[in-house]
């Protein structure tokens, strides 16, 4: 419990991520939600009309780095060609991670 309280004192980073490749129809969003819950980040993931997957990841710098590393691989059925990320400066704090 004490470890979680310490994490709340750390600065939060928010990153908008776009993943391209074979990332739709392979359970990518579901697996991303599961990984996000394991890592402890907030935000969301969704499919884009162009076949890419987009995610907003918010957490400590270490948590965000863990998610970015996982998103570069994705679930076993996926083929990730490219991951782009852009830091966001927003006031909203996400308390959970969900699929949109």
**Residue with structure tokens 């939600």?**
33
21/46 Cα distance (integer angstroms): 15
Q: Indicate which residue of 29, 34, 79, 87 is catalytic.
A: 29
Active-site annotation holds for 29? yes
Q: Indicate which residue of 46, 47, 48, 87 is catalytic.
A: 47
Active-site annotation holds for 48? no
Contact present, 35 and 69 (Cβ < 8 Å): no
How would you list the strands of the sheet with 79-88, edge to edge?
A: 79-88, 13-22, 53-59, 42-47, 97-99
Catalytic residues: 29, 47
């Amino acid at each position: 419990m004490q470890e979680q309280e310490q994490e709340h004192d750390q600065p939060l980073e928010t990153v908008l991520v776009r993943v391209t490749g074979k990332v739709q129809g392979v359970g990518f969003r579901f697996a991303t939600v599961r990984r996000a819950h394991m890592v402890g980040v907030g935000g969301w993931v969704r499919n884009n009309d162009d076949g890419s997957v987009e995610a907003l990841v918010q957490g400590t710098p270490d948590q965000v780095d863990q998610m970015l590393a996982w998103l570069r691989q994705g679930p076993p059925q996926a083929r990730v060609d490219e991951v782009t990320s852009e830091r966001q400066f927003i006031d909203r704090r996400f308390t959970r991670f969900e699929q949109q």
